[in-house]
Structure 1
Amino acid sequence: MDPFDNDRQVPSFWRRPAGMAVATAALIAGFYLLREHWGHVLGYWPYLLLLACPLMHLMHGHGHGGHARRRPESERTSQGRG
């Protein structure tokens, strides 16, 4: 038994040939779908842009510390007085 066999990782689905074929087919289908219905998409573009704002807040709202790392009020006031 080769000692390096345990270190090999199975590639993710998207790295396998079947995953790449699915991704390529999805991109082609999406292109043709968008091309045929561009007029409809263009009419809803402002609403889709406004919908993206809350979705971005939901997905990225916990980054950069968030509200969990705030100091209690007692610590903030006691440090200000010297």
Structure 2
Amino acid sequence: MNHDDNEPHVHSFWRRPAGMALATAALIAGFYMLREHWGHVLGYWPYLLLLACPLMHLMHGHGHGGHGRHPHPPGRTQDDKQ
């Protein structure tokens, strides 16, 4: 990657002091929000876990890795596997 020495290096928002302060405040607020509402959150964990299963299958694409789609070495068939 070629960078000109004349161009100033622009940091992303999250690397700037304002971005770091915002991220820190969000983490602290999230921590206290979770502590105050832990009873409510804990009641939803089983449903969130059940919802995660189909979402993971959708996000990973072809189900269980595409059974039978892997190429076989020449001269060997699936019936030869034991």
Name the CA shift for 1:9/1:33 in 2 (closer, same or farther; >3 Å): same
Secondary structure in structure 2 of the residue aligned to 1:34 = helix
Give the Cα–Cα distance (whole angstroms) in 2 for the partners of residues 51 and 58 of structure 1. Answer: 11
**Superposition RMSD in Å:** 2.8
- The TM-score, its normalising length taken from structure 1, stands at 0.60
Determine if the alignment matches structure 1 residue 36 to structure 2 residue 36: yes
- The TM-score, its normalising length taken from structure 2, stands at 0.60
User: Which residue in the other structure is 1:9 paired with?
Assistant: 9
Q: What amino acid maps onto 1:35 in structure 2?
A: R
| Overall identity of the aligned pairs, in % | 78
Give the Cα–Cα distance (whole angstroms) in 1 for the partners of residues 21 and 55 of structure 2. Answer: 29
Name the CA shift for 1:16/1:55 in 2 (closer, same or farther; >3 Å): farther
Name the CA shift for 1:11/1:57 in 2 (closer, same or farther; >3 Å): farther
Secondary structure in structure 2 of the residue aligned to 1:43 = helix
CA shift at 1:17, angstroms?
0.6
Counting matched residue pairs gives 67
Structure 1, unpaired ranges of 5+: 71-75
